[in-house]
Structure 1
Amino acid sequence: MFEVLISHIEEKVTLSEKDKNALQAFFVPKRIRKRQYLLQEGDICKNLAFVSKGLLRTYNVDEKGDEHMNVFGWEGWWISDFNSFLTGIPSVFNIDAIEDSEVLLLSRTNYEEITLAIPVMDRYFRILYQNSIVTKERRLMSSVTDTAEEKYLRLSASNPEIIERIPQNLVASYLGIAPETLSRIKKNLTVKK
């Protein structure tokens, strides 16, 4: 489980052997079955979750009962309701597993302590936050400027594993389009090839 985490961290910062050995003490491993919740709307997010195996999703449900996808998290990704985690307010999101998954949980206390015990982790988390902000800005801009086909092409180019592993209705929800629209786009792209 920890090999994926260490590999991910080392893509961004350099860890000493001492740092690698110390990391494990801050995380709690957890297995999550397909369709099992990691977090439910209304609960307080008490952990950041690093996905070492599997696939999870963050979404909310509107008053009509329609799901709206926010984020997918697969191997090497972090997933949580960061606002709830930092502020202690109830989450507006659900997080559940699309596949049987394994995550490493980092509590709020351990989140604070890891950056003191392993100072390079402070830089690691700062890099993650910067990347997250850029990604969210691009997604927001795409949602108002791109056509449905452009959104799909951008997603399939940047994250082909999403297209392969995630059910089409969830991909459509993530893109903010109807499943029928996504089917039509995929059919048209196949014809163009």
Structure 2
Amino acid sequence: MEYDIILRNISKHISLDKQEAAYFISLLKEKKVPRKGMILREEQLCKEISFVVSGALRAFYLDKTGRQSTIMFAIPDWWVTDMFCFINQQPAMLNIEALEDSLLLQLQKEDLDQLYIKVPKFERFFRIIMQNAYIREQLRVIQTLSLSAEERYRIFLDKYPQVAKLVTQKQIASYLGITPEFLSMIRANKAGKTIS
């Protein structure tokens, strides 16, 4: 297994010496997930955080009626988990599925806690990752409250063009909080008029 991609991801925020990098790598578990395979189901204990080496994942919430709401996507070089449940070691609220055959590197919660003790700079790394995730979600909520569906769709395409190529219209619609039919109307709107 080649670990360059995850070490480059970490080097964006902290520097590791060879011994620290080797210790970190020793904690990682490789997981191959087939398309439509689940890495987490609601009510299952959320024990790990996953780094996407290849493939793509989708985290979604399933309501009592069976309706799916996509919370986030994860593509190569991204981290994904049900963060609240991972940190608090509680049953998951989210489901996480592979959108295509995927290769992950996973870090168990107890190993992460040991990593913080043995290589304290990882606290800084994961703090930055969590801050960035919080900022991204806060902006998404504000956009949902203040922008039209058409504007949110344009922002999604601009910000995540690689994700848009991998996912279905239904999954994009559930991420934007609209129906697939309404998304079809937005896509078909050639005149450039905003749909509210």
| Shorter-chain TM-score above 0.5 | yes
Alpha-carbon separation, structure 2, partners of 1:89 and 1:126: 20
Q: How does 1:161-180 map to 2 (within 5 A)?
A: 161-180=162-181
TM-score by length of 1: 0.94
Alpha-carbon separation, structure 1, partners of 2:156 and 2:59: 17
Asked whether 1:8 is paired with 2:6, we answer no
Alpha-carbon separation, structure 1, partners of 2:4 and 2:172: 29
> What is the DSSP-based 3-state SS (H/G/I as helix, E as strand, rest coil) of the residue aligned with 2:185?
helix
Consecutive unaligned residues in structure 2, runs of 5 or more: none
How far is 1:73 from its partner?
A: 0.8
Q: Size of the alignment, in residue pairs? A: 191
1:18: which partner in 2? 19
Alpha-carbon separation, structure 2, partners of 1:185 and 1:12: 38
Structure 1 residue runs of 4 or more that deviate by more than 6 Å after TM superposition: none
2:188: which partner in 1? 187
Residue type of the partner of 1:9?
I
Consecutive unaligned residues in structure 1, runs of 5 or more: none
Q: How does 1:112-127 map to 2 (within 5 A)?
A: 112-127=113-128
Residue type of the partner of 1:81?
D
Q: How does 1:20-169 map to 2 (within 5 A)?
A: 20-169=21-170
TM-score by length of 2: 0.92
How far is 1:120 from its partner?
A: 2.1
Residue type of the partner of 1:83?
F
Deviates more, 1:1-10 or 1:11-20: 11-20
Percent sequence identity over aligned pairs: 28
Aligned-residue RMSD, C-alpha: 1.3
Residue type of the partner of 1:183?
S
> What is the DSSP-based 3-state SS (H/G/I as helix, E as strand, rest coil) of the residue aligned with 2:189?
helix
